[in-house]
Chains A and B, each alone.
Chain A
Amino acid sequence: MNVILDIFSSTVIAGIVILVMMNFKLFTTDAKLSSDAELQLQTNTKTLAQILDYDLRKIGYNYNGTAIITAQAKRFSYWADTDNNGTPEIVTYFLGDSTIVPTPNPRDKNLFRVIGTDTTGGAALGLVDVRFTYRTAAGVITSIPANIKYIEVGIWTQSPYAVRKYGDVSDYLYNYWQLTVNPRNL
């Protein structure tokens, strides 16, 4: 009787061990997917920051007068000679609508970048929100174009696909990047 009980309980425990190991294998696969998605998201976030950093440094280049036209939290417009041809253009950044971005994530949006008379275009890259903050030379928040000396940009990003985490719960990965640009021509 004892031997049968021993064999029975060992079989049960062996079954549990096998289940745990299978679960572990699933976990490692999920972790790898999550890790790859995280890396992709971080790369996208950094790319967005680089695009903004590259553009915003040129604010006021080859333009005389107050270069900033619109200074709002979700919309920013300014004069800059982006192509260095001696003639400044109006550059406008604004946050688009999530419906035009074809990903399963319902929150990601386009950050539109319109230069001169170009047709509207911009990057999505998992962007879910952007916030422009404008500061004076003393660091005080302002919305008066003539007083703006540097610009802070908060970038919120999420992965395009939900990743399974913490058991059966799936969620989108997220990141936040804060960028400060101090354009020479302001």
Chain B
Amino acid sequence: MAIGSLVLLIITTLNFNSSYLYNSNIEIENKVMLTAFSLADAMIEEVKARSFDEKTIQFTTVNPSMLTSSGSLGPEAGETYAGFDDIDDYNGYQRLVSAPHAEDYTIKTVIQYVNGEKPDEVSAIQTFYKRTTVYVTSPYLKHAVKLSFIFTLK
């Protein structure tokens, strides 16, 4: 009977501890996720300040084939972050951010042309729709926070 009670005690204690730990983890992850979401939103807002395309910085176009080809999305040769002047310069761009309560958020952006009729469909050819997807990861997050925004020239 004593051994039985001891087993019961151990099981109860283990359950209690795992529940406590799980709860603390969820709480921290929740906080980190909120900040990660704000960082993703801030990134999209930063991209908004840029031109739609390298070819439309001075003059707009009505012909999508004039835009940067989908295989060339990204910064132009020799272009660095300080010189980013159009949306697709952010393709593949990645930076590390430390917020006050959690460090090492990694923000990564992916820019793709999408089909205007079906925004979920990536287009291999140039269109007037560029989708910016921002991924924010953290050592405290199980899954990356993903936020998308479609920019259009129309």
A interface, CB within 8 angstroms of B: 6, 9-10, 13-14, 16-17, 20-21, 23-24, 27, 31, 34-35, 38, 42, 45, 49, 137-140, 149-150, 152, 154, 156, 174-182
A-B contact pairs, 13 of them (CB 8 A): A10-B5, A13-B6, A16-B9, A23-B16, A24-B12, A24-B19, A31-B23, A38-B27, A38-B30, A42-B30, A149-B49, A150-B46, A150-B49
Residues of chain A within 8 A of B42, CB atoms compared: 152, 178-180
Residue pair B46, A42 in contact (C-beta under 8 Å):
no
Most buried by B among A42, A152, A175, A180: A180
Residue pair A181, B6 in contact (C-beta under 8 Å):
no
Select from chain A the residue with minimum beta-carbon distance to B83.
Answer: A138
Residues of chain A within 8 A of B19, CB atoms compared: 24, 27
Contact with A along B1-42 (1 / 0, CB 8 A): 110011011001100100110010001001100110011011
| Distance of B31 from chain A, by nearest CB (Å) | 6
Complex Cα distance A174/B84, Å? 35
19 more A-B contacts (CB under 8 A) besides A20-B9, A35-B27?
A10-B5, A13-B5, A13-B8, A17-B8, A21-B12, A23-B16, A38-B30, A49-B38, A137-B49, A138-B84, A139-B82, A149-B49, A156-B100, A174-B101, A175-B34, A176-B100, A177-B35, A178-B35, A179-B38
Residues of chain B within 8 A of A42, CB atoms compared: 30, 34
| Distance of B6 from chain A, by nearest CB (Å) | 6
Residue pair B46, A139 in contact (C-beta under 8 Å):
yes
Complex Cα distance A86/B147, Å? 36
Residue pair B82, A138 in contact (C-beta under 8 Å):
yes
B99 CB within 8 Å of chain A: yes
| Distance of B86 from chain A, by nearest CB (Å) | 12
Residue pair B2, A13 in contact (C-beta under 8 Å):
yes
Most buried by B among A23, A140, A178, A181: A178
| Distance of B43 from chain A, by nearest CB (Å) | 8
Residues of chain B within 8 A of A20, CB atoms compared: 9, 12-13, 16
Select from chain B the residue with minimum beta-carbon distance to A49.
Answer: B38
Complex Cα distance A107/B38, Å? 23
| Distance of A46 from chain B, by nearest CB (Å) | 8
Complex Cα distance A38/B45, Å? 27
| Distance of A131 from chain B, by nearest CB (Å) | 10
Residues of chain B within 8 A of A38, CB atoms compared: 27, 30-31
| Distance of B89 from chain A, by nearest CB (Å) | 11
Complex Cα distance A137/B6, Å? 67
Complex Cα distance A98/B84, Å? 41
Residues of chain A within 8 A of B99, CB atoms compared: 176, 178
Complex Cα distance A119/B48, Å? 35
B59 CB within 8 Å of chain A: no
Residues of chain B within 8 A of A6, CB atoms compared: 1-2
- B66-99: which residues lie under 8 A (CB-CB) from chain A? 81-84, 99
Residues of chain A within 8 A of B30, CB atoms compared: 38, 42
